[in-house]
Amino acid sequence: MDFALSEEHRLIQATVREFAAKEILPIAADLDHHPRFPAEIIARAASLGLLGLNVPEEYGGAGLDGLANVIVQEELARASAGVQAIITVQNSLVCDPILRFATPEQKRRYLPRLVSGEWLGCYCLTEPEAGSDAMALRTRAEQRDGQWVLNGRKLFVTNGLEAQLAIVYARSEPAPGARGISAFLVEKSFPGIAVGRVEQKLGIKCSSTAEIVLEDCRVPAENLLGGRGEGARVALSTLDGGRIGIAAQAVGIARACLEECVAHAGTREQFGRPLRAFQAVQWALADMATRIDAARLLTYRAAWLRDRGERCTAEAAMAKLVASETAMWAAHRAVQLFGGYGYIQEYPVERYFRDAKITEIYEGTSEIQRLVISRHVLGRR
């Protein structure tokens, strides 16, 4: 067992920490108060190689492992969970399934564009009638004149507004449930794909969340991702990686809470003493630090397992469950510790409070994580 990060991992951490502190943090509050797509940050992130962290060098990527990815995602989320959401989708939900399931031609076509930031990607799984029970999805894919024709509606698609490439899950086979689903690489320029409603959200506001509408959307036959009827396999593998990315996001938000609280406890005085002189505050900070570390270690372990090519579904779910609940809890404590200042926009903790909540919801709610973990515990797959 070795808990030390390698020289490269440490340098990546230091680099992204500096990038986040100098270029993201100064505008993080503004991106939340006046939401807009942070094109300049995403371009800079691309130039540093943060949009294709795990993509091999032959496709222009950085060729890093999954552990490097979670280190990067934590640092980004520490500064802005919204910016991180955009970037983690690109890495874990778009590049990752392409790397694992795409044909060499598909990889050559899409990965360089995604890595360079020329294209942003999005991931279309959830539907109005298929949220936690994703495999109940109804979007249909039919073969017509040697092409696939997709019809349906996808909801809550992160990056949906800006993305030029969508990974879309649709029912292509007569088989019921998970076995009838296939995944498709759908370019925004294909006829019949459109952005529907763009949601207003509680948090992570600078990332778009949109409805994607498919109306007789024509997709070339070669844009099938993975085999026919293999969509569930693609989705489940991708979910493991996605959850690890959200766990890292949650760790980053929780760390932001802790760091702001430590600073505030040093400056803010009550009853003639700084807050940090109060034992109640000290204990709260100790609990936060401990839970954050536990969440981070679970996240690192899940990433490490996945890097080794081992099954990590339960471990990814555990990491995401603990990290997201830690983030929400830490944000709750942070707002309380800040008192009135925790409730106003001049200070960042109310933003962390709003941002933290999503980590308990997307990529599977806490309830779904518990379901996944309990199946593992009870030996049912």
Selecting among 162, 211, 363, 367, the annotated active-site residue is 363
Cβ of residue 274: shortest distance to another protein, in angstroms?
7
Q: Is 196 in the site for another protein (CB under 8 A)?
A: no
Three-class DSSP category at 111: helix
Nearer to another protein, 16 or 120 (CB): 16
> Does residue 363 carry a catalytic annotation?
yes
Q: What is the CA radius of gyration of the chain?
A: 21
Rounded Cα–Cα distance for residues 294 and 322 (Å): 8
Decide: is 371 part of the binding site for another protein (CB under 8 A).
no
56-64, 82-90, 237-245, 373-381 -> range binding another protein (CB under 8 A): 56-64
Q: Nearest distance from residue 60's CB to another protein, in Å?
A: 8
Which of the ranges 8-16, 163-171, 224-232, 335-343 carries the binding residues for another protein, by CB under 8 A? 8-16
For another protein, which stretch binds (CB under 8 A), given 60-68, 190-198, 310-318, 361-369?
60-68
Assess 266 for contact with another protein (CB under 8 A): yes
> Can residue 15 be called a binding residue for another protein (CB under 8 A)?
yes
Fill in the DSSP letter of residue 341. G
Which listed residue (18, 118, 133, 222) binds another protein by CB under 8 A?
18
Residues β-bridged to residue 224: 184
CA dihedral (44, 49, 52, 53) positive or negative? negative
What string of DSSP letters covers 287-320?
HHHHHHHHHHHHHHHHHHHHHTT---HHHHHHHH
d(CA 94, CA 80): 21
Pick from 29, 43, 48, 213 the residue near another protein by CB under 8 A. Answer: 48
Residue 107 per-residue DSSP state: H
* Packing angle, helices 66-79 and 7-19, rounded to 10: 20
Which member of 31, 50, 70, 373 binds another protein (CB under 8 A)?
50
φ, ψ of residue 368 in degrees (nearest 5): -65, -40
Determine if 275 is a binding residue for another protein (CB under 8 A).
no
Closest CA to 52 of 22, 82, 87, 2: 87
Only segment of 33-41, 49-57, 219-227, 323-331 that touches another protein (CB under 8 A): 49-57
Among 68, 185, 330, 368, binds another protein (CB under 8 A): 68
Q: What is the rounded end-to-end Cα distance, in angstroms, of the chain? A: 29
**Contact residues for another protein (CB under 8 A)?**
7-8, 10-12, 15-16, 18-19, 47-50, 53, 57, 61-64, 68, 72, 263, 266-267, 274
Q: So which residues are the catalytic ones?
A: 363
